[in-house]
Structure 1
């Protein structure tokens, strides 16, 4: 393999695919990045067996071929190359690769003739949708924080459900004690309803694709999902299992409605959490009175916090305990400075939503419901 390519573009490609390379792998080859040169250009690929990412970039190829090189060494070297262009020459039989830049060169020993495991052939697609990159990024920011952690015994909750219906797409994440729901109009989709559960890590990678200016196309197939944006393709398996029927846990009536400044409320929670985090429960006490919302936190060995916030509210006085971290993450997902918090009762779920964005809401159980 012999080629010349742009150092900056190769650096960006390596940044993208390196996120799939784990620090430790049962298969040594998974610690590598594959470079494949064809007459059409250079493709950069990495996989963790669950997902596979490929980035294509321009290159002047004089000898096609492929080589797998150690990911961290290749990534760090290319980022430190001072010239705008670089030349790569690889022995297809041994994997030995010489990288030249200006008068200098570095030799890296690759994985010989071994290449990354092939990703399974995809079954026929069931749906194709295209999302604006900024919309996709916001969807990810408003959902993934509510996914269950990897230690949870229910793997299906470690992902985000994507529900396609004619004219609409819904993304849902829950860990059993909180729930985030984003509904977006999708007038171009007129197909049959489709449900799939996307792993949290893959959703975050999708947000990286959505950080650019180009639309992101999602192709759904049984057991798989493919993200495509300009020169990048991310293939992934999806989670298998039955996602919970979240609609039945969302209260239909809220006797207490509190309109608040998101920045003021978030600041109060952040300060109170400094005290609350010292206790195992990490509990905040929220007390609602007409026109007032009080945030309280107590730690026996540290002290107390009391925050008084003005608000516009209606409904009876009520006191509820919430997890401080959960509350703060829910507030950070709101995009405007006018939020609405609705309480259905001291033992029932509360809803938090953005007054300016009807497409998103978050539901959270009080701590008393969890003990």
Structure 2
């Protein structure tokens, strides 16, 4: 194999696969490493582990066809620092070394048998298929996956629930203390509904690679226990979490006694200030007293003191005293985008938070019990 690539293209290809390639440890194994494959005028970089497989096409010149299976934790850092924009990659068929040349630098690294690599199989057909854009898909992921659970004892909540019916696509995540729901509209309806729970860490990797400067079509195909996601020169297969996701619509509150309209930036600042003391105390509890067109925030630490702060707002309904985990409130406000947000709640009940104008995102947070 003998290839010529631009340094920028080489690094883009490595960046696309590096997290999957190094997902295990740095020990050499068939689930840890990347495959460089140059056949039929196409240069592919592939990585595959038990949870995710990814392949990307890299532009370049193939002087001699071939393939190489590499597991080297220093490859990415080294290629990023190569002193030349023109890179050569060389490996003889009988060689166990891959040679990377750039400017005055020559790097030789060990390779493994390519037959031991589990190649990423592209699947064209599945039981459900739909197309959206990279901007919409990233928006869906980023506005929901942060609310996933991290408790391995409840794996169903460690993923984001994808719900596609007709021309509506929704993503929802919850750790049972908070919930994030984002909906969008597809240009073309899907013929077969799709419900799947995707591990949050795999969605984060997909989100990292989705282009947002120029929207690109994203094709998603559901096949048995995994999803296939294709955009640009990137193809990803991600496993799904087995099990039944609970009916999330049943836990979204609909009965409210207090409705608040408040400036998002001012409210965020007040919660951040109250959290300075609260975050070091157990559960990060902030008490909210909603009355007389203002919210009083109070947090205390048994050793370091008490903070009180006030934010003006518009209130409809009855006054309310309620307590929340300050971190959960901040997480929600970071994912709101309008100048004003709406808070809806009642005594001892979950609070619903939405942007005032854009109702495509719905956030729910459960109150804390305080003595």
Residue range with higher mean Cα deviation, 35-44 or 208-217: 208-217
| Equivalent in the alignment of 1:325 | 327
Q: What's 2:297 paired with?
A: 295
Give the Å deviation of 1:26. Answer: 7.1
Report 1:151-300 matches (<5 A). 151-212=151-212, 213=214, 214-300=216-302
Q: Hey, what's the Cα distance between the residues in 2 that align with 1:33 and 1:118?
A: 10
- Measure how far apart 1:103 and its partner are: 4.0
Shift of residue 187 of structure 1?
A: 4.0
After superposition, the C-alpha distances for 1:93-148 in whole angstroms (9 at most, x for unaligned) are 44311112234322111224454223467594122222222222221121011101
User: Quick one: structure 1 residues 113 and 130, their matched pair in 2 at CA, closer, same or farther if it must change by over 3 Å?
Assistant: closer
Contact kept in structure 2, 1:122 and 1:224, CA below 8 Å: no
1:43-90 residue CA offsets vs partner (Å, 9 max, x unmatched): 111122210111101121122111122242221121111211111111
**What 5-or-longer segments of structure 2 have no aligned partner?**
none
The structure-2 alpha-carbon separation of the partners of 1:27 and 1:177, relative to structure 1 and needing over 3 Å to count, comes to: farther
Pairing partner for 2:344 from 342, 345, 354: 342
What is the TM-score when the length of structure 2 is the normalising length?
0.94
**SS at the partner of 1:235?**
strand
Please give the TM-score of this superposition, normalised by the length of structure 1: 0.94
SS in 2 for 1:368: coil
Task: Pick which of 15-24 and 248-257 moved more.
Answer: 15-24
Distance in 1 (CA, whole Å) between partners of 2:279 and 2:96 is: 52
Q: In the alignment, what sits opposite 2:7?
A: 7
Count the aligned residue pairs: 368
Q: Which runs of 5+ in 1 are unaligned?
A: none
Distance 1:41 1:187 in 2: 32
Contact persistence 1:272–1:297 (CA under 8 A): yes
**Cα drift, residue 210 of structure 1:** 2.2
> Quick one: distance in 1 between partners of 2:121 and 2:232?
22
Aligned ranges 1:64-103 → 2 under 5 Å: 64-103=65-104
Between the aligned partners of 2:133 and 2:163, the Cα distance in structure 1 is 17
